[in-house]
């Protein structure tokens, strides 16, 4: 007889490691509605119980209120998290469509739970009863605040309007991101004349030839072409830096900055609509602007406080950026370049690279052979062992993956040998099916399962570096190494948490503007002598990186540092003011406001075609709205945290290890269970200071 017992569909497993290969767009369409109706019924039951308790004025317990709510949320997070993850790393028209078809219902369910008066009252009761520990207090306070920001206090038509706006905003964000992806993939330039690839390093020519082969030019070679240029960062970034063909740089640059800005198919209408809806929602919640709503849940206290930090950085960076631009002009003039008198944005990367080579003789492409991915991983894992006392070992084959290039690792405590966590690493760029950029995401969150057994955290670590070509491993630029360290820092906070309550474990319940602390902290180690020289080995000869190259990397760290800081200030201020000052009635478009801000935050005016806002996915398709400043805010924290290691002496092994353990026991362990200011002080022994950031950015001398 055939058993009628069936395991649940892969998408609804709700626990454990996902079986990615078994999850199809059809399942998304079939099973997400099924999941939502099940959760709905359960939520109804919880509400009925809580309403009865309220009517009887019966005291409530954490286990009665918070645990069932967490289980509901976790089942949705698990399933929808897998769908969103696959949408990011295995995008296809079918999956994208299936994702879009369910998103409204997912948002609606979240709103329904987040706006439940019965739950809201139950949480308030729980809080007023007292007897909670500090972690529970923080979880509850954040939950109540989030419910208020989701409109739990609104009634009838007002709440309906609020919800309709939330739903529309979610759709707008997805459409915004898809338009950027399409615009990025929809543009290619086929180069056929060797003259058109003049100046390009061998690795880039090989990459462009590979792209041409993938697109059907089977005979394409690095030496003879054809070469296919695209707007994805691994091709576009280096092309702008190295191409000696100013005309082609201009074409590619203009295509890049005008992505998704077409009249009929661009993001302009979406931008105004998103800003308008957010503003309306803010007003409904009793706030003056969306920026105020955003800051209500951040470490920064007010818009003015953020403006003040950005102004400090702008003041320090602007004169330095001007000097840097002058130096590029002088460099172009020395080389007899016609554009010296009229440098354009598409010349900046190119001349910066020439100048970098001139000043430091550092060719960042030429360093790639010293950073093969396997060596870099060994270095990173060795550092984590040294600082935090953890062992990381490959466990490929022990978990299903979504692509053959994806690797799986396990993390153990070096002292006790106890397993702590695991992570996936998806390192390579896959234009067309994988979202650009790099990120860490949660696969499983540390918690206790229904039987009280610990669930160990599992992270997704996604990068977009150059894939291996033929027999050559993925050879990384130094920037790609920094990116990997950065994302791994997020991963460490997720994986090394000791908080048992999942609502505050790892990165959960950490304020947005503090969440980049561990990631940016890890980047600092790429400039540490022992760390870098320990891992930088030539992939063929095994030779260590020459000392002179390390010295150049150190020197190059602050090269163009004024421009880099100013660029971040420009983005952060644009974001902040769009969400605090712009209104549909203010008499200027978002683009006009951005250009106004550009007069004091750029040293080279944006060109007419520059429609950067149309691809500013962080704030229009991601979660950074009125929060882009967080990068700089957290950098103050991370630079200051690293300076604790500088103070004890980077060569002082015993002190470094002790400081590393303290970092693990505070920042990496406590997650969102304490206020970030308190966590920082428990590590550093004092409040954060911006001194280290300004020093590390090289803005001290000229900034005054």
Angstrom distance (rounded) from CA 273 to CA 584:
9
Contact 321, 188 (CB under 8 A): no
**Binding span for Zn ion by CB under 5 A among 82-90, 289-297, 519-527, 616-624:** 519-527
Contact 387, 493 (CB under 8 A): no
Closest-by-Cβ residue to Zn ion is: 519
Cβ distance to Zn ion smaller for residue 196 or 516: 516
**Binding span for Zn ion by CB under 5 A among 23-31, 425-433, 453-461, 515-523:** 515-523
**Binding span for Zn ion by CB under 5 A among 206-214, 327-335, 514-522, 691-699:** 514-522
DSSP assignment string, 349-385? HHHHHHHHHHHH---GGGGGGG-BHHHHHHHHHHHHH
Query: Binding to Zn ion by residue 493, rule CB under 5 A?
Result: no
Contact 243, 348 (CB under 8 A): no
CB of 10 to Zn ion, least distance (A): 30
Angstrom distance (rounded) from CA 249 to CA 352:
14
Cβ distance to Zn ion smaller for residue 490 or 674: 490
Angstrom distance (rounded) from CA 41 to CA 31:
15
CA distances from 128 to 122, 133, 140 (A): 10, 13, 11
Cβ distance to Zn ion smaller for residue 345 or 672: 672
DSSP assignment string, 172-197? HHHHHHHHHHHHHHT-EEEE-SGGGG
Site for Zn ion in 523-562 (CB under 5 A): none
CB of 483 to Zn ion, least distance (A): 9
CB of 486 to Zn ion, least distance (A): 6
CB of 435 to Zn ion, least distance (A): 15
CA angle 144, 289, 612 (to 5 degrees): 115
CB of 125 to Zn ion, least distance (A): 37
**Binding span for Zn ion by CB under 5 A among 15-23, 411-419, 512-520, 534-542:** 512-520
Work out the number of other CB atoms within 10 angstroms of the CB of residue 62: 16
CB of 412 to Zn ion, least distance (A): 25
Percent of residues in the chain assigned helix, strand, coil, to nearest 5: 60, 10, 30
**Binding span for Zn ion by CB under 5 A among 179-187, 278-286, 399-407, 510-518:** 510-518
Cβ distance to Zn ion smaller for residue 519 or 524: 519
Burial annotation 252-262 (CB, 10 A radius, 16+ → b, else e)? bbebbbbbbbe
Cβ distance to Zn ion smaller for residue 582 or 628: 628
Is the preceding peptide bond at 598 cis, omega within 30 degrees of 0? no
The one catalytic residue among 74, 307, 482, 487: 487
CA angle 12, 18, 23 (to 5 degrees): 65
CA distances from 307 to 219, 222, 576, 629, 698 (A): 55, 48, 8, 9, 21
CB of 487 to Zn ion, least distance (A): 7
Cβ distance to Zn ion smaller for residue 281 or 519: 519
CB of 57 to Zn ion, least distance (A): 47
Work out the number of other CB atoms within 10 angstroms of the CB of residue 451: 5
Angstrom distance (rounded) from CA 116 to CA 367:
56
Cβ distance to Zn ion smaller for residue 442 or 516: 516
Cβ distance to Zn ion smaller for residue 27 or 493: 493
Cβ distance to Zn ion smaller for residue 116 or 519: 519
**Binding span for Zn ion by CB under 5 A among 179-187, 276-284, 508-516, 664-672:** 508-516
In the list 243, 519, 630, 659, the residue contacting Zn ion (rule: CB under 5 A) is 519
Cβ distance to Zn ion smaller for residue 163 or 519: 519
Q: Where are the alpha helices (DSSP H) in 297-366?
A: 303-334, 345-360
Residues 6+ apart with CB under 8 A from 57: none
Contact 477, 365 (CB under 8 A): yes
**Binding span for Zn ion by CB under 5 A among 243-251, 321-329, 497-505, 509-517:** 509-517
Angstrom distance (rounded) from CA 324 to CA 342:
15
Known catalytic membership, residue 74: no
Q: Give just the sign of the alpha carbon dihedral 566, 572, 578, 581.
A: negative
Cβ distance to Zn ion smaller for residue 347 or 487: 487
Q: How many residues bind Zn ion (CB under 5 A)?
A: 2
Site for Zn ion in 585-604 (CB under 5 A): none
* Per-residue tokens: 446: 């540390």
**Binding span for Zn ion by CB under 5 A among 12-20, 219-227, 516-524, 660-668:** 516-524
Q: Where are the alpha helices (DSSP H) in 193-302?
A: 202-214, 233-242, 246-257, 268-284, 290-295
CB of 438 to Zn ion, least distance (A): 8
Contact 630, 512 (CB under 8 A): yes
CA dihedral of 653, 499, 117, 104, whole degrees rounded to 10: 70
Contact 173, 274 (CB under 8 A): yes
CB of 259 to Zn ion, least distance (A): 22
CB of 592 to Zn ion, least distance (A): 31
Active site residues: 487
Which residues sit at the interface with Zn ion, rule CB under 5 A?
A: 516, 519
């Amino acid at each position: 007889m055939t058993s009628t017992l069936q395991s649940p569909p892969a998408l609804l497993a709700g626990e454990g490691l996902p079986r990615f290969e078994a999850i199809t767009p059809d399942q998304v369409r079939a099973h997400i509605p099924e999941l939502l109706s099940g959760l709905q019924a359960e939520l109804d039951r919880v509400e009925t119980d809580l309403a009865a308790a309220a009517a009887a004025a019966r005291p409530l317990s954490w286990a009665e209120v918070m645990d069932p709510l967490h289980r509901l949320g976790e089942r949705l997070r698990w399933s929808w998290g897998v769908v969103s993850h696959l949408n990011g790393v295995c995008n296809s028209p079918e999956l994208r469509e299936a994702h879009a078809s369910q998103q409204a219902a997912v948002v609606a369910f979240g709103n329904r739970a987040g706006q439940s008066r019965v739950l809201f009252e139950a949480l308030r009761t729980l809080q007023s009863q007292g007897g909670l520990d500090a972690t529970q207090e923080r979880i509850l306070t954040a939950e109540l605040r989030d419910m208020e920001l989701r409109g739990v206090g609104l009634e009838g038509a007002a709440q309906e309007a609020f919800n309709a706006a939330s739903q529309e905003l979610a759709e707008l964000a997805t459409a915004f991101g898809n338009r950027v992806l399409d615009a990025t993939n929809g543009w290619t330039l086929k180069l056929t004349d060797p003259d058109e690839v003049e100046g390009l390093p061998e690795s880039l020519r090989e990459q462009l030839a590979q792209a041409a082969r993938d697109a059907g030019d089977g005979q394409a070679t690095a030496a003879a072409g054809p070469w296919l240029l695209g707007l994805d960062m691994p091709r576009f970034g280096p092309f702008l830096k190295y191409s000696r063909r100013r005309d082609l740089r201009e074409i590619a640059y203009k295509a890049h900055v005008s992505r998704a800005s077409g009249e009929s198919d661009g993001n302009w209408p979406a931008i105004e609509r998103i800003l308008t809806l957010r503003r309306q929602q803010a007003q409904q919640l009793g706030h003056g602007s969306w920026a105020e709503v955003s800051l209500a849940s951040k470490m920064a206290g007010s818009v003015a406080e953020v403006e003040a930090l950005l102004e400090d950085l702008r003041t320090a960076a602007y004169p330095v950026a001007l000097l840097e631009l002058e130096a590029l002009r002088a460099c172009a003039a020395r080389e007899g370049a016609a554009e010296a008198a009229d440098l354009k944005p598409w010349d900046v990367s190119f001349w910066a690279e020439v100048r970098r080579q001139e000043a430091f003789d550092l060719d960042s492409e030429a360093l790639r052979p010293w950073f093969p991915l396997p060596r870099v991983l060994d270095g990173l894992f060795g550092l984590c062992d040294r600082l935090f006392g953890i062992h990381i070992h490959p466990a490929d084959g022990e978990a299903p993956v979504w692509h053959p290039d994806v690797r799986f690792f396990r993390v153990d405590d070096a002292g006790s040998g106890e397993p702590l966590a695991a992570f996936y690493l998806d390192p390579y760029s896959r234009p067309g099916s994988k979202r650009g950029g790099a990120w860490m995401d949660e696969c499983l969150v540390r918690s206790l399962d229904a039987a009280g057994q610990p669930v160990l955290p599992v992270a997704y670590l996604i990068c977009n570096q150059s894939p291996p070509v033929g027999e050559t491993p993925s050879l990384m630029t130094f920037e790609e190494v920094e990116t990997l360290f950065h994302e791994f820092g997020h991963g460490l906070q997720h994986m090394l948490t000791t908080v048992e309550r999942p609502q505050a474990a790892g990165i959960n319940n950490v304020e947005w503007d503090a969440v980049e602390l561990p990631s940016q902290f890890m980047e600092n180690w790429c400039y540490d002598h022992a760390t870098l020289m320990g891992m930088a080995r030539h992939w063929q000869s095994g030779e260590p990186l020459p000392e002179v190259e390390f010295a150049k990397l150190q020197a190059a760290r602050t090269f163009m540092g004024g421009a880099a800081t100013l660029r971040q200030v420009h983005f952060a201020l644009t974001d902040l003011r769009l969400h605090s000052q712009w209104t549909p009635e203010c008499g200027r478009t978002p683009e006009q406001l951005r250009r106004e801000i550009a007069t004091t935050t750029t040293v080279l005016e944006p060109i007419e075609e520059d429609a950067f806002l149309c691809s500013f996915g962080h704030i229009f398709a991601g979660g950074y709205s009125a929060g882009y400043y967080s990068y700089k805010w957290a950098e103050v924290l991370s630079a200051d945290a690293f300076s604790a290691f500088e103070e004890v002496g980077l060569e002082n092994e015993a002190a470094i290890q002790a400081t590393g353990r303290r970092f693990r026991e505070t920042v990496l362990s406590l997650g969102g269970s304490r206020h970030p200011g308190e966590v920082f002080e428990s590590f550093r022994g004092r409040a954060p200071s911006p001194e280290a950031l300004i020093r590390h950015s090289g803005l001290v001398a000229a900034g005054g």
